[in-house]
Amino acid sequence: MSGREELFTAARWRAVLRAAGYRAVPHFLDPAGGRLLRRLPDRANWTIALDTPAGRATLYLKCHEPCRRSVPPGLREWFHHERLREHGLAVPEPAAAGRDAAGRSFFASVALEGTVPLEEFLCQRAHRDRERIRRLAALVRRLHALEVGHRDLYLCHVLLRARDEALFLIDLQRLVGGSGRRLRRRWKVKDLAALHHSSAGLAAVTRHDRLRFLLGYLGKERIDRETRRWLGRVRRKARRMARHRPRHGDGGGGRPDSCRTRTFR
């Protein structure tokens, strides 16, 4: 879809980006000096190193090929980050976004230094941590309280910062809801099932951990009839995911194959 060219830059990054030569949309879509992380048919992921008054900084850049949507993926992710940050959710800081007249788009966020995907962290641990479970449940509960669903809420899309163990949500381009209407239960179940599915096979995550997470999400201390209903819905959806979306590899729009390897945001 063709249209007008648009460029959005965060105020505190505008001068730094211009000084580094990123003055227009084409400079981001073909980043000179950027490091290519991976290229897929519909998008490419890069990192960009920048000199700032405070020292060296890194941006994480997603470049998307044209799509049929009126708002392309790069701009959607910009708007979603802005919205969630306004409500105090822990997400990466957006730096720039835009689209060209041909419909290609990009989104650049500030890399979260010292973070690791929660899935990778759990792969390296063989013990339970009730406090981390509680904080993850609280994060997802806050997201859904805004009537917003993630749609790709796998453990690899939650980052853990080592120095303070803060949790961050990433990959926000497919958010659903937030338009003044209540979020449908199916999207809540899908998010919870994605976490359930992506924890399958991890030695550090037990059946009791998954139940403890659900209790925290529901704001309950004991299992009751409502908890059992939610648990049944989540387990059924997770089983469907397991059949149609392999835990590793690109399952035709399912869980990304980069979940085990992507550690940079």
> Would the CA dihedral through 10, 15, 18, 22 be positive or negative?
negative
Q: What is the pTM of this model?
A: 0.88
Q: How far apart are CA 42 and CA 6, in angstroms?
A: 20
Report yes or no: 10 and 95 within 8 Å, Cβ to Cβ.
yes
> In the chain, where are the structural domains located?
6-110, 115-244
Q: Tell me, what's the pLDDT at 126? A: 59
- Cα separation, 40 vs 61, in Å, equals 14
Give the pLDDT of residue 246: 52
Segment (H or E) for 213: helix 207-218
pLDDT in tens, the chain (265 residues): 557 899 999 999 999 999 999 999 999 999 988 999 999 999 999 999 999 988 899 999 999 999 888 899 999 999 999 999 999 999 999 999 999 999 999 999 999 999 999 999 888 765 557 888 999 999 999 999 999 999 999 999 999 998 999 999 999 999 999 877 899 999 999 999 999 999 988 888 889 999 999 999 999 999 999 999 999 999 999 999 998 755 433 433 344 444 443 433 4
| Helix 207-218 and helix 225-244, axial crossing angle in degrees, nearest 10 | 120
**What CATH topology corresponds to 6-110?**
Phosphorylase Kinase; domain 1 (3.30.200)
Contact residues for 185 (Cβ-Cβ < 8 A; gap 6+):
233
Say yes or no: domain 115-244 is CATH 1.10.510.10: yes
